[in-house]
Amino acid sequence: MRTCIAALVLLWSQLAVAGGLRFAAEFPELPNANARKLSAQRFVLVSVEWRPDTGKTRMPYYQFFDFKERKAVEVPLPLHEFPQAHLQVLGTRTPPMAHVVHFDGQVFSLTLNASKNHEASATYFCQYDTRTNRFSELVYLSPWDDTRHIEDIGFDSTDEYFYFAIGANPAGNVIKNGYTSLELNRIHLRNRELDWKMKVDLPKRARPLKLNSGPQLFSRDGTKLALVEYNDAGIQRDDKPNPPEQVLVVDIPSKTVDAYPSLLTAYGQVFSPDNRYLILGSNELGRMIRIDLEKKKLDLEGPGHKRVDRYLPTPSGKSFLVFSNTKLTSPKTVEVRRVSDLKLQTSIPVRMVFPGTDAVVPSGIFSGLDGRMLLIPYVDKKGWSDRKGWRLYEVPDDVTSPEVDGGSGGDMKVAQGVVLGKQYADANHLLYEDRKEDPNASFSQFVVNKTGDIFLIGTLSDNSDDDYKVGRTRPVVAKLGPDGRPKWQRILVKKGFLDYEGGQVAALPDGGCVADVVSYVHPGSHPVTRVVRLDAQGKVLWDYHFGGGRPRIGDRYELLPDLSISITGRLYEGGEKYRPWKALLDKNGKVLSDEVAP
């Protein structure tokens, strides 16, 4: 076993009872593609890499993130040493394709398919113990045939059992036509005994509905299981299932099941820790429902965030986090909802947990240690999970604050500054481009200096989509304090220019700033490169633009250590023809170079 630690860890001796999330550690080199949980409390599988062991033998190396130890560990699984007798049962001569369904730090739990005539015929369970380097006996789980096949239900919240279901449809072609009943089973992860099973008949319909894909939801104590039927707007339009989609709540000790109304695309799912309530949220509808499992009825319904991806409970269970696809919907927040009434408790700006962006597709977010830790992947410029990089957050008992404490490389400080800057811009009707902000760039729409002051640039406009006239726009640069309160705002109109369209700003060590102001002599022409410097009180020290009849457009601005400004861009020679151009201004606005490529 190899241990990999690649993080900046901030120590927090005691978790808060209430408050905001706390940034705890960063793992920039740890892969995050296709990650999935492999235990309820501790381990997330982040990568699998096949590498040679001895000679030409290749085997998979599984890399896990361990919530308890706050580090990554790598563990090999020597499938090439799989017992010959097991291979004969599976109907193969080569190392098997094993699906890891659980890992506890020492023991891999695997499911493997046997084949006959090149088709799956049965599914078996096996374990590999890293302490003894031995594979266990095979345990038969389920047949594979035209009327039956296996469905993974997942491990329970106590990491004691792995549950699975045998989906059946007597009419045949169960994979295509769906199943009409489920035989729920479980296997003990310590002794590999099959010690419990029950049959669940699904509602009779012309076309059966399937369960939501992926592991199903268990209550915190592992005594209840929610089986949520999947339905979406397309299925509803084409087939209109009757009865509509349901959620089947299984009480595991008594082997009883209760059916309740569900929602289309109910991706949001959470049990209250006392097992009193089950809460569901619809991705498509933006609706939430709460089911009272004691009174056995739906007791609360209301609006929620659209495009919900998942609900994650806080440690106390009094509230839950709502992660949604903010590329497709607003507000750009991670909501915190109360279990007691489903009302909004607070909202965390998305960029506080995904520094640099407001629009994300929140796949691959995991919680551990009874909700006390959150593992969140880096995202790329388009808001999708990047190929590597994770951030770890500590979660208080109840999340009551939108702020995120701690930081790395200034990311959190910049993120908070951008949030406050956007709130100010929105409140004062300043237009800006809603894009990913690079926290390492010196020029941006929103920047934060070393003392926490925030600079921003935007545009005031009296135009609308249906009513546009030249001369109705005004460029604005503003400075806010670390608390978001304005210190000053300056309108930077200049004689000779008719229209304006945002720009970028860079913070200076003296408390002032320098701004790139996108300015147009005429809105039908290319903009002119214009740079303005302001002091700490907002007084304009100089205002320079590149003239000469041929428009120069700056594509990249960089503040150099001596406070000079490097500009690279294009010089237009007529129409859309241009040549590369670069220039350098000193800190006093004097042109040191102005060069056009031959």
User: Six-digit token pair at 585?
Assistant: 């201004």
Q: Which region holds residue 125: left if phi is over 0, alpha if psi is between -120 and 50, else beta?
A: beta
Q: Could you tell me which of 19, 59, 5 has the C-alpha nearest to residue 319?
A: 19
Higher confidence at residue 33 or residue 546?
546
Question: Minimum mean pLDDT among 261-275, 278-292, 563-577: which range?
Answer: 563-577
Q: Which tens digit of pLDDT belongs to each residue from 421-465? A: 988 998 999 999 876 666 667 899 999 998 989 999 999 999 888
Strand partners, 457: 477
Helix, strand, coil tally for the chain in percent (to 5): 5, 50, 45
Neighbours of 518 (CB within 10 A): 21
pLDDT at 394: 93
Higher confidence at residue 91 or residue 414?
91
Alpha helices in 49-161 (DSSP H): 84-90
Q: Which region holds residue 307: left if phi is over 0, alpha if psi is between -120 and 50, else beta?
A: left
Q: What is the band of 6 on the pLDDT scale with cuts at 50, 70, 90? A: very low
Q: Which tens digit of pLDDT belongs to each residue from 500-559? A: 998 999 999 999 999 999 999 887 788 889 999 999 999 999 999 998 777 888 999 999
- Placement of tokens 């404490």 in the chain: 405
pTM of structure: 0.78
Q: What letters, b where the CB count within 10 A reaches 16 and e where it falls short, cover 413-432? A: bbbbbbbbbbebbeeeebbb
Amino acid letter, 102? H
pLDDT at 9: 39
C-alpha to C-alpha distance for 417 and 439, rounded to whole angstroms: 11
pLDDT at 16: 56
pLDDT at 411: 63
pLDDT at 172: 78
Residues 6+ apart with CB under 8 A from 266: 212, 228, 245, 247, 280, 281, 282, 283
User: Six-digit token pair at 277?
Assistant: 């309530």
Q: Which tens digit of pLDDT belongs to each residue from 226-280? A: 999 999 888 888 888 889 999 999 999 999 999 999 999 999 999 999 999 999 9
Q: Are strands 308-313 and 398-399 parallel, antiparallel or unpaired?
A: unpaired
Mean pLDDT, all residues of the chain: 89
Q: What is the band of 55 on the pLDDT scale with cuts at 50, 70, 90? A: low
Q: What percent of the chain has pLDDT over 70?
A: 95
Cα dihedral 52→54→56→59 (10° resolution): -40
Going by the DSSP 8-state scheme, the letter that residue 427 receives in this structure is H
Q: Which tens digit of pLDDT belongs to each residue from 376-414? A: 999 887 888 878 899 999 999 999 988 888 654 456 677
**Residue 485, phi then psi, degrees to nearest 5:** -80, 135
User: Six-digit token pair at 285?
Assistant: 């509808």
Q: Which tens digit of pLDDT belongs to each residue from 191-203? A: 999 999 999 999 8
pLDDT at 74: 93
pLDDT at 197: 95
Asked if the model's pLDDT at residue 15 lies above 60, the reply is: no
pLDDT at 408: 45
pLDDT at 259: 95
pLDDT at 13: 35
Q: What percent of the chain has pLDDT over 90?
A: 62
Q: What is the band of 11 on the pLDDT scale with cuts at 50, 70, 90? A: very low
pLDDT at 436: 65
User: Six-digit token pair at 87?
Assistant: 């291979």
pLDDT at 122: 92
C-alpha to C-alpha distance for 462 and 429, rounded to whole angstroms: 10
Q: What does the pLDDT average to over 8-30?
A: 68
